A and B are shown apart, each in its own frame.
Chain A
Amino acid sequence: METFIKIIKEHINYKNQIMKLAKADLVKTYRGAALGWAWAIIKPAVTIFVYWFAFSVGLRMGKDVNDYPYFLWLIAGVVPWFYMSEMITAGTDCIRKYSYLVTKMKFPVSTIPTFVNISKFIIHLILIFLVIVIFRLFGYTPDIYLLQLPFYILLTFIFFNIWGLFSAPLAVISKDYSNLVKSFITAIFWLSGIMWNPSTIKNATLKKILKINPVTYLVTGFRNCFINKVWFWESPKTLACFIIITVVMAVLAIRIYKKLKKEIPDVL
């Protein structure tokens, strides 16, 4: 608890620096290339095209979902995933990447995952906005269910911020850990019901496992806003499950941070 208050205090004291560093991180990612900022959109666009092509044209799998074209169903889930996958890897590597903040000056380590997260989050918001625009172009006007979008966006942000705080210190201590996370990213992608509809799974045990998978929960949540037209309070059990997982991870993150805080500068 004490550590938790300390982390919050560090965030408040360094809020200006956090914003500046988030901006710097963003600028750094997209600068230096001739197309610059356009890459923030081109890269996901290419990926989406490949998925759509492989599933719709190649495997002939892409059926309409809830009267929405497969393409729209795809982007409603894949776009949030882009942010999640970025955060799973970048969140893990962030302290290593910004080691100069740890070893060369006085800077609170706990805020590093936060500013990296904010930087990725801004791109995420832009892409989500584009998804809404694309839905509109296809003739689907936003309806009342879209009002819960900020709720899911906020959940995702909080979840992955905690993830960063949990994962980054471990990755500093052990390279194996960071390799482990990176090698699981594809597995998480294919197993979490991002490319296929988790509600069509017949096996009951598998269904249960998917229900507690936080990635599945969030991706389905985004689709609930855009396509399934389900309110978040209509599935209280899975929401409770997600919150429990988040809280457990937060407790672990704080414990790990407390334990490793003094060791991180000595290892980097």
Chain B
Amino acid sequence: MPKTVIEFKNVTKIYKLYKNDKQRFKAIFFKKTPYKPKNAVNNVSFKINKGESVALFGKNGAGKSTILKMITEVTYPTSGEIIIDGRVSALLELTSGFDPEFTGRENIYLKGQLLGINTDEIKKLEQTIIDFAQIEEYIDQPVRTYSSGMKARLGFSINVNVEPEILIVDEALSVGDEEFRRKCIKKINELIEKGVTLLYVTHATKTAQDFCKRGMVMQTGNLIFDGDIEEAMQVYTDTIKE
């Protein structure tokens, strides 16, 4: 029986929207401060097994990003339980997550260390990462001088090369030129063959088909479909038309 690596049990995430920051500050001391609850994710449950590759569809505001953030343990659910088993490497907003004052090379080390990889291991990966990102001599320049494409390539390169167990890709492949994109797709396919669990989040249904067999569709915080990719795409296209 395959191992479950991501499991959501009745997960709900409510954002508290206050009228302004003053109200939010007041809420620390007074419980009664009024706020508008926003259900970003509503009672969602699913299981993803090791080695599966799953596409997550949904319109803007459907709750996709919130789910991803909860998987990466950046944000916490309001209620419910999330079980994650394995090193998560997330390609969320590729252009951020770097320290702009540091060079590309230093950022590779910093990020590696933050992911809990020891220095020797990073040294081994360093050249692979740089080669993959194609930033050549810029690698020793501060990241603040990079173009957004360069940042994205470096971010992608780090995340796929640190040997993740769970890979989360959020619209990342829309960056870079056609050649880089193909390279990314190839790399992701390689990782899938190695047994990496992939969660792919996108609006574009076409690329999802390339890697995923299973699809999930989100609509205004609810998981409305979970199953075969073809059907998922159909459901998603219908939600757009509505």
Q: Beyond A170-B28, A173-B24, A174-B22, is A100–B96 a contact (Cβ under 8 Å)? A: yes
Cα A259 to Cα B24 in complex, Å, equals 13
Query: Given that A17-B113, A20-B113, A24-B102 are contacting pairs, would A103 and B24 also be in contact in the complex, using a CB cutoff of 8 Å?
Result: no
Question: Which 4 A-B pairs give the minimum distances between C-beta atoms?
Answer: A104-B97, A174-B25, A262-B76, A106-B73
Residues of B within 8 A of A (CB): 15-16, 21-22, 24-25, 28, 69, 72-76, 88, 90, 92-93, 96-99, 101-102, 106, 110, 113-116
Please name all residues of chain A whose beta carbon is closer than 8 Å to the beta carbon of B75 when the two chains form the complex.
Answer: 262, 265-266
Which residue of the partner chain B has the closest CB to A262? Answer: B76
Cβ-defined contact, A105 with B114, below 8 A: yes
A contact face: mostly helix, strand, loop, or mixed:
helix
| A265-B74 CB under 8 A given contacts A16-B113, A170-B28 | yes
Contacts of B25 in A (CB 8 A): 170, 173-174, 176-177
| Residues of chain A from 215 to 262 with CB closer than 8 A to chain B in the complex | 256, 259-262
Partner of B15, one of A28, A100, A174, A266: A266
Once the chains are docked, how many angstroms separate the CA of A173 from the CA of B28? 9
With contacts A104-B74, A173-B24, A175-B21 taken as known, whether A32 is within 8 angstroms of B101 at the C-beta atoms is yes
- A contact set with B: CB distance below 8 Å: 16-17, 20-21, 24, 28, 31-32, 100-107, 170, 173-177, 256, 259-263, 265-267
State A174–B90 Cα separation when bound (angstroms).
29
Q: Are A265 and B110 in contact (CB under 8 A)?
A: no
Cβ of B97: which chain A residues have Cβ within 8 Å of it?
100, 104-105
B118 to chain A, nearest CB (A): 8
CB–CB B96/A174 < 8 A: no
Contacts of A105 in B (CB 8 A): 72, 74, 90, 97, 114-115
Evaluate contact between B99 and A174: CB separation under 8 angstroms: no
- In the assembly, what is the distance between CA of A100 and CA of B74, in Å? 10
Whether A106 contacts B72 by the Cβ 8 Å rule is yes
**Pairs A–B under 8 Å by Cβ, sample size 20:** A17-B113, A17-B114, A20-B113, A21-B110, A24-B99, A24-B110, A103-B74, A105-B72, A105-B74, A105-B114, A106-B73, A106-B74, A170-B28, A173-B24, A175-B21, A263-B16, A265-B69, A265-B76, A266-B16, A267-B24
Q: Are A28 and B101 in contact (CB under 8 A)?
A: yes
Task: Report Cα–Cα, A147/B104, bound state, in Å.
Answer: 45
Interchain nearest-CB distance for B23 vs A (Å): 10
Q: Which of A102, A170, A259 contacts B74 (CB 8 A)?
A: A102
Q: List 14 additional contacts besides A28-B102, A105-B90; criterion CB under 8 Å.
A: A31-B101, A100-B98, A102-B74, A103-B74, A104-B97, A105-B72, A106-B88, A173-B28, A176-B22, A256-B28, A262-B75, A265-B74, A266-B75, A267-B24
Q: Interface centre among B28, B93, B97, by most A CB within 10 Å?
A: B28
Q: How far is the CA of A32 from the CA of B145 in the complex (A)?
A: 13
Residues of the B chain whose Cβ atoms lie less than 8 Å from the Cβ of A174: 21-22, 24-25
B21 touching A173 by the CB < 8 A rule? yes
Complex: how many Å from CA A236 to CA B136?
A: 62
Closest chain-A Cβ to B18's Cβ sits at a distance in Å of 10
Residues from chain B with Cβ under 8 Å of A260 in the complex: 28
Query: Within 8 Å CB of A104, what residues of B?
Result: 74, 92-93, 96-97
Taking the closest CB of chain B, its distance from the CB of A57, in whole angstroms, is 39
Alpha-carbon distance between A32 and B74 when the two chains are bound, in angstroms: 31
Q: Specify which chain B residues have a CB less than 8 angstroms from the CB of A263 in the assembled complex.
A: 16
Interface residue from A28, A107, A256 paired with B114 (Cβ < 8 Å)? A107
